[in-house]
Structure 1
Amino acid sequence: MRRTLFAGLLILIFAGVGRAQLRVELLLEQKQYLINESLHIGVRLVNHTGQTLNITGTNWLSFTVEDTEGYFVRRVRDTPAPEPFEVESTYMATQWIDIHRAFAFRENASYSLRARVRIEQWNEDIYSNPVKFEIIRGTKLWEQRFGLPGSGQPNQPEIRKYILQQANYLDELQLYVRVTDESENYVFKVQRLAPMVQVSRPEAQIDTLMQLHVLTQVGRSQFLHLVVDPDANMILRNTYEGTSRQRPQLRVSPSGSVFVAGGVRQLRRDDLPPSPIFTRPLPEPPPSEEGAKDADDAGSNDTPELTVPPDASTPDGR
């Protein structure tokens, strides 16, 4: 009887130590989101248990969301868990998952999110500390229906809608694009485009490829030319500087192409596609003995992070 009791106590002690040495952290890309904007959650496992953890099974990860009154938010669909992976002792690994379609979020509301990670080899659940975020409301500035190229019957193309919205993100005015179906009942994607200037209104034009061109002022004399495809993916971002004679403006050619007239193009590191001037490799400086020693000493006490490939089964918002 004493041996059985002693063995049971050892199991409980080991389980408690294991829980203490395995930490689950949640990472947020931002603290505020527009409704239907992608809400990527990073689930980080920090392993100091002294053993390799095998993260397996179809339900090793789940989330719960509460509103400010403590009520659980209704789940509208499951979030598939990423593929199984291993986390060696003294390492950490992070998986990113988009949960914006998994719960019935509301505008102008604050939420608290918590994750549960199932460790099958221990038969234990490990919980993260909660993280908080807000869903904010946007104001519609412009909208336009368009036919999706190559969709539907010859006389019945799929109709979608581009919508430009503005919202106060962390007390700064931001411009967003939303792509929906014709009725706005289904949202394909919401993309944050750029900061806005209060006194300026963005220009918008659709080209012959049904791509949306947006020209928006982001500074005293600085403008961004942005191009978004019918899935709300940004494919071009260029910067222009206005002059004393003329500010940049969108123009449409007789063939239907859209271009920027006026202003001076500025090459920047955040251009999309990248400007060739910033993509050329720089020559590496010769290593010094002192620099090599500093590199060996730096980060010796940090927990290295494993690279975990993203799960192909995670919903892409379609």
Structure 2
Amino acid sequence: MVSNDEANGIDRAACESAARIDGINAAASLTRLPQRAGAANAPDAALPLVAAGEGIGPLLGLPPATGLILPPDIADGLGVQAGDDVRLTASTDLSAPAAALPVPDGPLPVGAVTETTVLGEQYAYAVLLPTSASGKASTCMVRVKAGYLDAARDALPAMLGDAGQDAVVADRLIGGTYARDFSAEYAQRGLKQAPWLSGTAVSLLWLLLVWIRRGRDGLYATLGADRATRTIIRTTEGLTLTLTSAVVATGVVAGTLAAMTTSPEAVITDITRHLTIATAVSMLGVLTSTLIPLRSPLAALKDH
């Protein structure tokens, strides 16, 4: 998502702090600078410059920025790669009125070389200069987790607004006839009810087992076990099996994620919720099983 306010600007600190909101992966403030820059080996390159907030690294799927971020085309043109140093010389472009930012003197490290097309045409093909979270920016870009898009739409305008006027917030990547709305796909996913169904299936299996074994409970009653004792036995058995199964499932899932997924943290929240709901519903089934009536002790003895 992107919030634009070219006239009044968006507070950089407010933009960067949006990353702390639940459901927002990253947020970075961006300002296209009036300067263009050359390098020692390409003094007339006239490279566009963009002042980017500290969140630009996570916004692009990188660690926090520690230097310049270059798109591959610019890096290839300058003959540099991540870890190299670049000395920039800036000149002002009077045709692009914007707040000027002094280009640091001396060699600057290249923190990363990565695709920046996600930032849009105005900011993609440019040298990204990390800057402090102070002053105003023209744009705040926010990367939102699937399922949190509506909440972000509601919260960001007021959070990034100024003087009582809400900021303009729009989707950056979702739109057009052939675009995919990942948030809607997530909300309508086929496995949305899977944890409830899994827990219900385990509960029904346990209830069936208790029903089949109710004759044994009747024999316990003939041997002097009161209802409280039989309830404790049945509940202990059920909870032990349920919790043991949950531990085994957690181990299997953790091993599978470690072996087959490059970014397990992207799905760990969903998996934790799935296991928690399934386990809770299963435990509810175990507690419900204590309400199943006993079979007649005489009928159980006849069967034996």
TM-score by length of 1: 0.21
Asked which structure has the greater CA Rg, the reply is: 2
TM-score by length of 2: 0.21
Relative contact order, CA 8 A, sep 6+: which one is greater? 2
Greater helix percent: which structure?
A: 2
